[in-house]
Amino acid sequence: MTEHQLEIDWTRCDAHGLCATLLPDDVTLDEWGFPVLRGRRVTPSELTNARRAVLACPALALRLQRS
């Protein structure tokens, strides 16, 4: 079964924080507002929300990788 994991392109991320709002189980923010990934796999039931968050990232920095 294909598994998915979130990744962040640090050359693009501008600390908008939207990903932590949309995916609170997967992302928290550090003291400067940059995302910290919890490193857990995205479950099949969470995939739709994860894809929405990827599309919503204003900096196109959030990615969903197959593993």
Is residue 3 within 8 Å of residue 67, measured between CB atoms? Answer: yes
Applying CB under 6 A, does 16 fall inside the site for ligand SF4? yes
In the complex, least distance from residue 66 CB atom to ligand SF4, rounded to whole angstroms: 19
# of chain residues touching ligand SF4 (CB under 6 A):
14
- From residue 30 to residue 59, the character string flagging contacts with ligand SF4 as x (rule: CB under 6 A) and all else as - is -----x---------------------xxx
Q: Output the CA–CA distances (angstroms, integers) from residue 20 to 29, 62, 64, 66, in the order listed.
A: 7, 11, 15, 20
Q: Which residues bind ligand SF4 (CB under 6 A)?
A: 8, 13-19, 35, 57-59, 61-62
